[in-house]
Amino acid sequence: MNDILLDVSDVHVTYQKGRHSFEAVKGVSFLLHNKETIGIVGESGSGKSTLAKAIMALQPCSEGSILFKGEDISSFKSAELLKYRQNVQMVFQDATGSLNPRMTINAMLDEVLSVHGKCKENKKGRILELLDLVGLPSAILNRYPRELSGGQCQRASIARALALDPCVLVADEPVSALDVSVQARILNILRELRERLQLSVILIAHDLAVVRNVCDKVAVMQNGLFEDFDDAEKVFSSPKSDYTKRLLAAVPDVNRALARFYPA
């Protein structure tokens, strides 16, 4: 059985501004299989969000191709694109900013389901199910995003992304704006959802520690290219590129740090 959902092949993305052009992604290739989680890590400006936008068909590829279940997404017309964006959903870093400030959480989820004609018979039930999936209490349904914490907003935006039963979730730095303790909870939710809903996930982060315990494979991106791409274990235990080695060396060693403060 062919279980390849996304086939990203030699993708280049170029931004054009007047006579100036800038190539933000310079030839990236990878396959995303069914139920697989791939982490993409790299410093700010390395091209992670640009690659995510290309995968979401929000930014065209200047070279290369992205196939979804064997079909080139650049050939999709509006109806196919709508279907594609139901299948491949995105979660953004700035959860509060990506939610409509004038809509309660209930209205937001209701709208997503209505626009796509989903769950007409039992919309309320589906909304409660979505809240349950991300661990939000039903008491927040009538609240506006500004009345929620950062972590609750991120849970709500994950619920919105799941509303249409996607098979792929692209999460662009979903925990970067959150406190460390909240980060761990959101990552746990993503891990649980992946199992419960059989999701494939592309998890983007600027911090190797974020992807370490969540991803099957890890890509380390620098300057528009994958410097390393392998099983997560291998990238952490025997990184190929010097850049990855430097990144790994920069991950703070909690035990060492604690030992400084609490010597034996």
Ligand X SMILES: Nc1ncnc2c1ncn2[C@@H]1O[C@H](COP(=O)(O)OP(=O)(O)O)[C@@H](O)[C@H]1O
Q: Does 47 bind ligand X (CB under 6 A)?
A: yes
Give the C-alpha separation, 187 to 192, whole Å. 9
How many chain residues interact with ligand X (CB under 6 A)?
12
Q: Does 222 bind Mg ion (CB under 5 A)?
A: no
Short-list 38, 51, 29, 2, CA closest to 169: 38
Q: Does 48 bind ligand X (CB under 6 A)?
A: yes
Query: Which of ligand X, Mg ion, none has residue 149 at its interface (CB below 5 to 8 Å by kind)?
Result: none
Q: Which is nearer to ligand X, 25 or 162 (CB)?
A: 25
Buried b (16+ CB within 10 A) or exposed e, 175-188: bebbeeebbebbbe
Q: Does 213 bind ligand X (CB under 6 A)?
A: no
Considering only the stretches 46-54, 89-97, 109-117, 163-171, report the one whose residues sit in contact with ligand X under the rule CB under 6 A.
46-54
The CA–CA distances, whole Å, from 81 to 32, 72, 112, 118 equal 19, 11, 16, 17
Site for Mg ion in 44-63 (CB under 5 A): 48-49
Options 37, 49, 106, 222; binder of ligand X; rule CB under 6 A: 49
Considering only the stretches 2-10, 18-26, 43-51, 123-131, report the one whose residues sit in contact with Mg ion under the rule CB under 5 A.
43-51
Give the C-alpha separation, 148 to 178, whole Å. 13
Options 8, 28, 46, 112; binder of ligand X; rule CB under 6 A: 46
Give the C-alpha separation, 43 to 29, whole Å. 19
Short-list 125, 189, 121, 118, CA closest to 152: 189
CB of 12 to Mg ion, least distance (A): 18
Contact present, 29 and 65 (Cβ < 8 Å): no
Options 3, 21, 22, 82; binder of ligand X; rule CB under 6 A: 22
% helix, strand, coil for the chain, step of 5: 40, 25, 30
Options 5, 24, 136, 210; binder of ligand X; rule CB under 6 A: 24
Q: Does 174 bind ligand X (CB under 6 A)?
A: no
Please count the other Cβ atoms lying within 10 Å of the Cβ belonging to residue 255.
Answer: 7
- Residue whose beta carbon is closest to Mg ion: 49
Structure tokens at 197: 């809903």
How many chain residues interact with Mg ion (CB under 5 A)?
2
Q: Which is nearer to Mg ion, 2 or 44 (CB)?
A: 44
Options 15, 74, 81, 125; binder of ligand X; rule CB under 6 A: 15
Short-list 167, 5, 12, CA closest to 86: 167
Contact present, 187 and 210 (Cβ < 8 Å): yes
Binding site for ligand X (CB under 6 A): 15, 17, 22, 24, 42, 44-50
Binding site for Mg ion (CB under 5 A): 48-49
